[in-house]
Amino acid sequence: METNEIMIGDWIYNKHHKKNIQITPYDFFTHGHLPSGNQYFIGEPELVSGRDLEPIPLTSEILLKNDFKYGGGYGYSFTNRKEMCGDGFEEEKVYINTDLNALIIYTAASTIRLPVKYIHELQHALKLCGIKKEIEL
């Protein structure tokens, strides 16, 4: 992966550690790990992001774990409730069609369609639309 494809908070697979990790500022530079698990920068850190990182495919299991409901032909959906300055709530519908690798977000004002195939792309799309949803693996 390239540095410009990921942001702090994104879920990716680290080939070196052989596990899914959530990106921290340390992951963009050379760093070490203390016995406690805390990270620290090494002497003069060098930019290394992307070297051992792979995207995590978006799966049905991950969507279901994150409150997306399966709805048949259109795929998975999630309803986001956004408070409207004390005037009640506005609902935004988020649909993911895993067959088409497409994300569709319906709001009162617009419809947004974005390609998504990986977890970090879903995280970026939700952030771009102002939807505050933590994705868990």
Task: List all residues 6 or more positions away from 137 whose beta carbon is below 8 Å from its beta carbon.
Answer: 11, 20, 56, 62, 65, 119
Residue 94 lies in a domain: yes
Share of the chain above pLDDT 70, in %: 79
Residue pair 13/53 in contact by the 8 Å Cβ criterion: yes
DSSP symbols for 38-51: -EEE-SS--B-TTT
Summarize pLDDT for 27-50 with one digit per residue, the tens.
Answer: 766 766 778 878 776 766 565 556
Q: In the numeric block, which tokens belong to residue 11?
A: 């879920």
Q: In the numeric block, which tokens belong to residue 38?
A: 């805390």
pLDDT of 129 above 90: no
Q: What is the pTM of this model?
A: 0.76
Q: What's the total number of domains in the chain?
A: 2
Q: In the numeric block, which tokens belong to residue 21?
A: 């990790």
The confidence band for 104, taking pLDDT boundaries of 50, 70 and 90, is: confident
Strand order through the sheet with 102-106 = 69-70, 76-83, 89-97, 102-106, 111-115
Average pLDDT over residues 49-58: 81
Q: Are residues 65 and 117 in the same domain?
A: yes
Domain that holds residue 28: 3-54
Q: Are residues 44 and 95 in the same domain?
A: no
